[in-house]
Amino acid sequence: MLVVLWRLFKSTPEDLEALKRPRPRPQGSAGTGEYAINYFFADSSEQASPWHHIALQTASAGDRGVYTFVCEIPRGATAKLEITKELPHNPIKQDTKDGKLRHYPSPSLVNYGAMPQTWEDPRYAEESTGLTGDNDPLDVVDFGQKACTPGEVYDVRPIGALAMVDGGEMDWKVVVVREGGEDSAWQDASNPSDSQREKLQRLKEWLRDYKVPDGKPPNEFAFDGKFLGPDVALQVIAEQHRLWKWLVSVERPQDADMWWPKLM
């Protein structure tokens, strides 16, 4: 008890806010259909959603341009873990196809995950592209050398965005650097150094082609495939957060193909 009190006394406001976040609890064995990462409110047995109950920004982080990243797929992994929109409380599970667990054909080049409290609305056509969203939370790519832990939540700073088009739908990728990470000095994905440009090009090629082994066509990109700067990334985040707020302001129909709580 004394140790806990000392930690609370020494904690910064950011630390205290992080303590309030819903926490992941893995269940089952990784690599099986039973594996799931469920979330629970702090010091509670009440289940939470990593999509809807984890804040997009903590109050103290907003002034620093810091956002929240939920890790789904660590750098170097192939298992396609993702937030399940359909299941109650949206646990992270490995995706399946034809009853089989899905894997990428090659290891992920980045830490990959989602930005909570965002939604790419499939009914809403973006003004810049004329395309509707893919019905998912915003995807996040983190170039950090250290692999993230599936289900863990990290503070990140957006430095750019890539406008991927998957099957005719917008599937934005927000490029971030982790707070305090080795790449934290990187400011703008649209103005990279030579080594950073190589990383970005490899990622774009990987995203373009990862579905080809499954017999699908390569993904495409809007804006001539350019990585856009942090100003665009922040605009995209703000817009998808606005659409998410509309989603959780309405009652969920009984026949809905997604799970969300009414929060507003």
The per-residue pLDDT for range 152-176, each reduced to its tens digit, is: 999 999 999 999 999 999 999 999 9
pLDDT in tens, 22-43: 999 999 999 999 999 999 998 8
Q: What percent of the chain has pLDDT over 90?
A: 76
Q: Which fold has domain 13-247?
A: Inorganic Pyrophosphatase (3.90.80)
Q: What is the predicted pLDDT for the residue at 197?
A: 94
Q: What percent of the chain has pLDDT over 70?
A: 91
| Choice between 255 and 260, residue whose per-residue pLDDT is larger | 260
Place of tokens 């990428």: 104
pTM to 2 decimal places = 0.90
| CA pair distance 120, 236, nearest whole angstrom | 10
Render the burial of 107-139: b for 16+ CB within 10 Å, e for the rest: ebbbbbbbbbbbbbbeebebeeeebbbbebbbb
Asked if the model's pLDDT at residue 62 lies above 80, the reply is no
Domain ranges of the chain: 13-247
- Nearest-CA neighbor of 137 among 121, 155, 160, 158? 121
Q: What is the predicted pLDDT for the residue at 254?
A: 80
Average pLDDT taken over every residue of the chain: 90
Strand partners, 5: none
* Strand-strand pairing, 169-178 and 153-166: antiparallel
| Region label for 161, one of left (φ > 0), alpha (ψ between -120 and 50) or beta (otherwise) | beta
Lowest model confidence (mean pLDDT) among 69-73, 109-113, 150-154, 213-217: 213-217
